[in-house]
Amino acid sequence: MKRKNDTDIGTGKEAEQFEDDRSVMISLRDYLSDPCAASSLPFWKTEQMQLPANLSVYREDQFNEAACAGTDTPYFRMIHTLKSIPEPVLPAEYELTSANADELAIHIQACYDSEGVTGAELHAYTQRPVYDAELWIAVRERKTGRIAASGIGELDGRIGEGVLEWIQTSPVHRRKGLGKFVVCELLRRLSKKADFVTVSGRMNNPHEPYALYRACGFSHPVIWHVVRQVEIRRASGEEMLTLWGYPDLDTAPPTAKFFFENIVSGNAVFWTVDRDGELLGELYAFLNIREDPEFADGTTTAYLCAFRVKREYRGQGLGSKLMQAACADLKSMGFRRATIGVNDPRNKALYCRLGFDTDVKTCYVDPCARDENMQPEPDDVGFLLLAKEL
């Protein structure tokens, strides 16, 4: 065994147990018997990190999708026993080197659209108890010296656990086997120091890290669901402009100005799905549309429109919850009916499931899309106006 004696991490019940996911007590013995099923995190992180109050983690067999009260991001966790490590060959135009924290931070930032780490954060990694300089590697392009792929591994020498923390390949160098080379090189180095290696990654990742790690010999995958709580609330006109990508009202086109002005005047309501300040969805209600009261008449009927959830968060029930909250709010305001427009037959089935089961009429003017003169824009294709009773 390469790990130190268990007594090096403490003795007795207090030292042998830690709280994972804020509620589950796991013994060291249980962790070592099945690391990936025992915890969503490496052992050293469970000792030092506490989950924020707005975040919960569930193993696949404990996860209830119907009761999920936030965004669900599933992750896999796998283990490598280091008994058999593939030996991929590095293409001749590349070379294996080391890299410092600043270089690796720049490379990591360039490889991901929505994830990353700063140089300062990586410098902080060097103060972790699991830091091992030999496990920070880079594959460089020989002719330019630029990093094409990189990896950061960590080692908990107390229990013999290696961890793959960051593995990435620059977009222009993908599909050349560099990611597999980096993973296997780190496994080779860890095989001299650790008893096993764990890795995790996001499911449904277009770069397919799951397939990469399986090809490198990782096995026994366990799925964990990371759920971050969301709040459905009313939002402001300024938040609408920001969500739509306009820094201020002067730069906004007519339709955005129309929405903004109606929100500010109180003739429109904007609801959003808020996750720690990030707006994941939007839905608007116009309370009165003078040009056509069948859409909204200001007293009994309101018109819902611009109903969207960010693509990466669809399929998690956020849209249904947003619609339910908006309709409940409208009902509390005294409205008895809500209308909504649909121009795609596939969406009609969705809205019918949400209760919009009455066909009102076919429309060829969109009352909330405005031209340069702030007049309703014609819709040559047309759309169907649906309604539901609140």
Sheet strands side by side (includes 337-342): 231-235, 268-275, 278-286, 301-309, 337-342, 376-389, 358-370
Q: Judge whether 96 and 118 are in contact, CB under 8 Å.
A: no
State the pLDDT at residue 341: 95
Q: What pLDDT, on a 0 to 100 scale, did the predictor assign at position 4?
A: 46
Q: What is the per-residue pLDDT for 14?
A: 32
- Tell me the backbone φ, ψ of residue 83, rounded to 5 degrees: -80, -30
Residue located via tokens 């903004």? 260
CB 240 within 8 A of CB 258: no
Model pLDDT, residue 3:
55
Tokens 């819709």 sit on residue: 379
Residue 27: C-alpha distances to residues 11, 14, 323 (Å): 12, 10, 44
Which residues, 6 or more positions from 369, have their beta carbon under 8 angstroms from its beta carbon?
255, 376, 377, 379
Digit-by-digit pLDDT tens for the chain (390 residues) are 565 433 333 323 333 333 334 444 577 888 999 999 999 999 999 888 777 878 889 999 999 887 887 889 999 999 999 999 999 999 999 999 999 999 999 999 999 887 778 889 999 999 999 999 999 999 999 999 999 999 999 999 999 999 999 999 999 999 999 999 999 999 999 999 999 999 999 998 888 999 999 999 999 999 999 998 999 999 999 999 999 999 999 999 999 999 999 999 999 999 999 998 999 999 999 999 999 999 999 999 999 999 999 988 888 889 999 999 999 999 999 999 999 999 887 788 889 999 999 999 999 999 999 999 999 999 999 999 999 999
pLDDT of residue 348: 87
- Over 75-97, what HEC string results? EEEEEECCCCCCCCCCCCCEEEE
Question: What type of residue is 277?
Answer: G
Q: What angle do CA 376, 382, 236 make, to 5 degrees?
A: 45
Token pair 């339709």 in the structure block, residue: 255
Q: Give which of 359, 377, 358 is closest to 367, Cα–Cα.
A: 377
Amino acid at the residue 38: A
Structural domains of the chain sorted by starting position, each given as residue range(s) with its CATH number in brackets: 1-229 (3.40.630.30), 231-389 (3.40.630.30)
Alpha-carbon distance 80 to 83, whole Å?
A: 8
pLDDT at 347: 82
Running DSSP on this structure, what letter comes out for residue 134? Answer: G
Q: What is the dihedral of CA 259, 263, 264, 266, to 10 degrees?
A: 140
